[in-house]
Amino acid sequence: MKRYYLAFILSISASLVSHAKGPLDEVKRPGGGDLNPGVYYNQETMDAFQDMKIGLSVHWGPSSLGGREISWSRGEQIPKAEYDSYYKQFNPTKFDAQNWMDLMKEGGMKYIMLTSKHHDGFALWDSAYSEYDIANTPFKRNIVQEIVDAAKANDIVFGTYFSIIDWYHPDYQPYDHGGPGELYETDERTPDFERYRMFMKKQLHELIVDYGAKIIQLDGEWDPTFNHDIGSHLYMYLRFLDPSIIINNRVDVGREHLPESGMWDWTRYAGDFDERERMVDWVQKESKVFGRSVNPWQAWVTIDQAQWSYNETPRLLSSDEVIVDLVKTIGDGGNYLINLGPKPDGTFDKTQADIIRKMGDWVEIHAEGVYGTRAGPFVEEGVYTSTQKGDAIYLYVFKDGPNTIKLKLNDKQIERLTLVNGDELEFDIQNDVMTLSLDDTDSLVTMVKIKLD
């Protein structure tokens, strides 16, 4: 655990140095997009991010008191006035950041992405620029600060979700889902989108500079007032705040301009990694739309397929579904970010926490083939996939898969095959094709370590 956190910290100094050395190296990789030529993500922190593999997404705020979807239920299932009054009651007395960290460690999760501010505009930190924030609730305690402190004490990397959309702010355009709230002053210029963008950048400055967020998950880039120029500028602003920071591709409008392949065009649109939602009702059930990618990407999955924030009637993924989805994701080279919506009291639903623990139990047994790996060379959709790290390939055969598997080696030299329990596996190689047989594929996923010569 420590080395991932350390890698992030050490790399920040390295990246500052490399940044100080002048123009970044010319290796082509995602970053500032076509409007920021020659600006790419920082390799050290991206390597550390991809090594971490598994993170916890958290959608939380006073809206959890309504039990409906954060932001989206405002002015819809829940009248705006009622939704906007929740902050006056929000008092999660059972919130304990260390308990969240304990669950993350049981789940094998290395970084946290908290909705510090969702589309409803409520700030889970004491923002100098907003009255609509945690300081003005009965709870008063600075939730973001407590999570930052607990993450640091537990070698977990703190990242934040931040919505470009703010339906509460009177300068945000377009007004939607109930429009402006009552806590902000207005004047003859209201609404003023340029003034809103300054406000947004000041709040992002707080989260990055004051709270040290190392991974930024922007969202809400689909509104017409946001465009490629604004997104490209925002990317550069964030990168100047912290040269080593990692920014998702929703900083720009690449999601709205997917080519036929469904793959984000990183040569044009800014962002360091491709954020791919799935397994939630309104998004593709699988990532088959996208497939494997040499560029960094993250599967963003919510354990409750019905909504992202606390839901009184959730429809949960099973732990088996989560584990299989995790394996498919890492086999395709992605990180796995799974989301929970805490209850109004600040605790997680026990059933959902137990699913995370079961995932963690599986990950602990297969850790060598998970952490620090990248997409492997062997994949057959739904039958098997693979990861690779150093001189080893980790083949994952899904339940009820074939007992005999043939793999084209492309001249790889094989030293030996071993199962998770250490048992060696026989194999035969004819004409550059390796044949291996598994006694049974009853378990959910069977991992075979292929040690290369």
Residue of minimal Cβ distance to ligand FHN: 277
What gap in Å lies between CA 32 and CA 271, rounded to an integer? 6
Q: How far is the CB of 127 from ligand FHN (least distance, A)?
A: 19
Nearer to ligand FHN, 234 or 447 (CB): 234
Minimum CB separation of residue 284 from ligand FHN in Å reads 12
- The b/e string for 368-389 (b: 16+ C-beta within 10 A; e otherwise) is ebbbbbbbbebbeeeebbbbbb
Alpha carbon distance 262, 279 (integer Å): 16
With beta carbons less than 8 A apart as the criterion, state whether 159 and 112 touch.
yes
Interacting residues toward ligand FHN by CB under 6 A = 71-72, 219, 277, 300, 308
Q: Minimal distance in Å, beta carbon 70 to ligand FHN?
A: 6
Q: Which CB atom, from 339 or from 441, has the smaller least distance to ligand FHN?
A: 339
CB of 166 to ligand FHN, least distance (A): 13
* Angle 429-432-437 from CA coordinates, rounded to 5°: 40
> Which of 5, 84, 94, 97 is closest to 58 using CA atoms?
97
Q: Residue 32 or residue 61: which is nearer to ligand FHN going by CB?
A: 61
Instruction: Tell how far CA 282 is from the center of its chain.
Output: 18
Q: In whole angstroms, how close is the CB of 43 to ligand FHN at the nearest point?
A: 26
Nearer to ligand FHN, 106 or 221 (CB): 221
Nearer to ligand FHN, 168 or 308 (CB): 308
- Residue 32 Cβ, how far from ligand FHN at the closest point, in Å? 23
Contacts 24+ apart (CB under 8 A), 369-373: 369/394, 369/396, 369/447, 369/449, 370/53, 370/54, 370/108, 370/330, 371/4, 371/51, 371/52, 371/53, 371/110, 372/51, 372/53, 373/53, 373/330
Return the number of the residue (69 or 133) whose C-beta is nearest ligand FHN: 69
